Amino acid sequence: MSLLNQIRDAGIIGAGGAGFPTHVKLNTKADYIIMNGAECEPLLRVDQQLLESYPDEILRGFEMVARLVEAKDAVIGIKGKHREVIALLQKRIAELGFSDYIRVGILPDMYPAGDEQVLVYELTGRIVPETGIPIDVGCVVCNVETVLNIYKASCGKPVTEKYITLAGDIPDRMTVRVPIGTSIIDVLKLSGIENFESYAVIDGGPMMGPILTDMKGCITKKNKGFIILRRDHPLIRKKSCSIDNARRVNRAVCEQCRMCTDLCPRFLLGHNMQPHKLMRIANYMMDDHSGEAMSLLCCQCNLCEYYSCPAGLHPRLNNLAFRTKVNARGERYQSENRQYEVRAAREFRKIPSKRLTARLGLTEFDQQAPLNDRLMKTDRVRIMLGQCVGAPCEPIVSVGETVTAGQMIGRIQEGKLGAPIHASIDGKVVNITEEYIEIGGE
C-alpha cells in the first residue's frame, strides 16, 4: 500500500489543532517540507518532549514524507533555546544517514514563530500571499506529532492516542498519553485538582485556545493541551469578554495609536492586515465594506489583543466580528497581485516569548511538565465521528459488537473530505449516536 493510503487509513489529521486530513494535504509536490517544532504558545511542551523521546521515529517519518512530496529541502523548525533537543536531533540525523537531506532550522524565541506563514518566511525567506497557504509558495508544513503518526502509520498503526500537556495554576504539571475518546474531566483530574468550580480551562495554548465550555466532552485528535487557571486570572477575564462588550469598550477607548498594526505578524510580513483601521471602521460606523474584507487576513493569533494594545482593547474580537459579517455576505478579500516584501521594521518588532508570558501573567506557571509515557487507562471512550475539517465519519460497527484497539470503526463518507476513526481501547460498542461511537471496556 502507498504511504499516502497508509496515512489515510490511519486516520491522520493535523495534530497541531487545525485538523486538516493529512493524506489530502500531502497529495502534492513541494520544494520544501517543514516540520513545525516551534511550539510558540507559552506553557505547551509536547512537541519538544516528543522530539526528545522519539527522535528516530520522527526523523524516519519526516524523511518518508519529504520523499513523498519530492521536497528538495527538509527542515525541522525549532527554537534555538532548545539546545539539548537540537543537539540530539543533529546527532541522530547524522547517525541515521539523513545529513544530506534533513537539516535543523533555528527559529527566534518569538511569538508567533509557529504561525505557518511566519515559519515559512523564517526558514525559507518566502512569503505566503494574502489569504494563501504555504503550498502557494512551494512549502508543506507538518506538526511534530503528525510526523510521528505518519511513522506509526507506515508500521500499520492508526491514530488511537493523543499527547496532552496539563499546565497552569495546578499542583501536578505533566504531559500524558491518553486514548482518544477519554473523558476530558478524567484527564483534567490528573492535574491534582478534583473540583473545578473555581477554575477555568483553556483548550489549547493560552494565546489562541478558547475557554473550554464543556468539561464533559472527550479527547479528540485535535486536542494538544489544557491550561488550567483560576477564574479570576486576568487572562481568563480577557478571554471571557463577549463581542458586544468588546465593541462598547473599543468604541470608548481606542486612540488609534496603531500599535496593534505595527506589531501584527501578518502586517510585518507585508500583508495588508491593519487592525487599527478595522477599529476605526467599527468605532466611527464607517460604511466601508471594502475595508471590512481585510478581516479575512487575520490569523487570530491574539497578539494585538493580549500584548500590543496599550489600552487593553479587543482588536482581534473586532476583526472576528467583521470576518463573520464578510463571510455571511459571501465576500472574498481582493488581493492585489503583487510582490510581497516584509516591513523594514520587522526584525525589531519580534515579540520575545518571555515578555509575552510575563504580560499574560503566566511566568510563575512556566515550569516543566514532564512526559508520562504510560498510556492512561480508561474503561469507556466516546470516539467523535467528526474530528477533522470535512464531513463526519460513517459508523461501520453496530451496538453490541466487540472491537479491538486500532480497529477502524468509522469510515470517510463517499466522495467527502475526512479521515477515518478507530477504536482506542478493546471493548464492546455500547452506543452509537449522530455524534459519537461509545465503547465500554471489557
Question: Which residues would be at the binding site for ligand SF4 (CB under 6 A)?
Answer: 254-260, 264-266, 273, 275-276, 279, 298-304, 308-309, 311, 313, 315-316, 319
State which residue, 31 or 331, has the beta carbon closest to ligand SF4: 331
State which residue, 82 or 266, has the beta carbon closest to ligand SF4: 266
Residues 6+ apart with CB under 8 A from 155: none
Minimal distance, residue 21 CB to ligand SF4, in Å: 25
Minimal distance, residue 357 CB to ligand SF4, in Å: 17
Minimal distance, residue 428 CB to ligand SF4, in Å: 46
Fill in the DSSP letter of residue 210: P
State which residue, 16 or 390, has the beta carbon closest to ligand SF4: 16
C-alpha separations of 73 from 10, 36, 63, 66, 302 in Å: 26, 14, 10, 8, 31
Give the whole-angstrom CA distance, residue 174 versus residue 181. 19
Burial of 185 (0-12, 13-18, 19+ CB in 10 A): middle
- What is the three-class DSSP state of 48? helix
Task: Supply 263's cell numbers.
Answer: 506589531
Minimal distance, residue 305 CB to ligand SF4, in Å: 6
What are residue 313's phi and psi, to 5 degrees? Answer: -85, -170
CB 171 within 8 A of CB 192: yes
State which residue, 176 or 301, has the beta carbon closest to ligand SF4: 301
State which residue, 102 or 260, has the beta carbon closest to ligand SF4: 260
State which residue, 220 or 274, has the beta carbon closest to ligand SF4: 274
Minimal distance, residue 74 CB to ligand SF4, in Å: 28
Please report the DSSP string for 91-136 in residue order. HHHHHTT-TTTEEEEEE-SEETTTSHHHHHHHHH---PPTT--GGG
C-alpha separations of 94 from 48, 106, 318, 382, 410 in Å: 19, 17, 49, 42, 41
Neighbours of 310 (CB within 10 A): 9
Residues 6+ apart with CB under 8 A from 339: none
State which residue, 37 or 275, has the beta carbon closest to ligand SF4: 275
Fill in the DSSP letter of residue 209: P
Minimal distance, residue 63 CB to ligand SF4, in Å: 33
Minimal distance, residue 80 CB to ligand SF4, in Å: 23
State which residue, 40 or 403, has the beta carbon closest to ligand SF4: 40
State which residue, 94 or 241, has the beta carbon closest to ligand SF4: 241
- Among 340, 247, 266, 341, smallest CA distance to 308 is for 266
Minimal distance, residue 127 CB to ligand SF4, in Å: 15
Minimal distance, residue 91 CB to ligand SF4, in Å: 37
Residue 383 one-letter amino acid: I
State which residue, 227 or 279, has the beta carbon closest to ligand SF4: 279
Q: Report the interhelical angle of 83-95 vs 55-68 (nearest 10°).
A: 60
- What is the three-class DSSP state of 337? coil
Fill in the DSSP letter of residue 31: S
Minimal distance, residue 315 CB to ligand SF4, in Å: 4
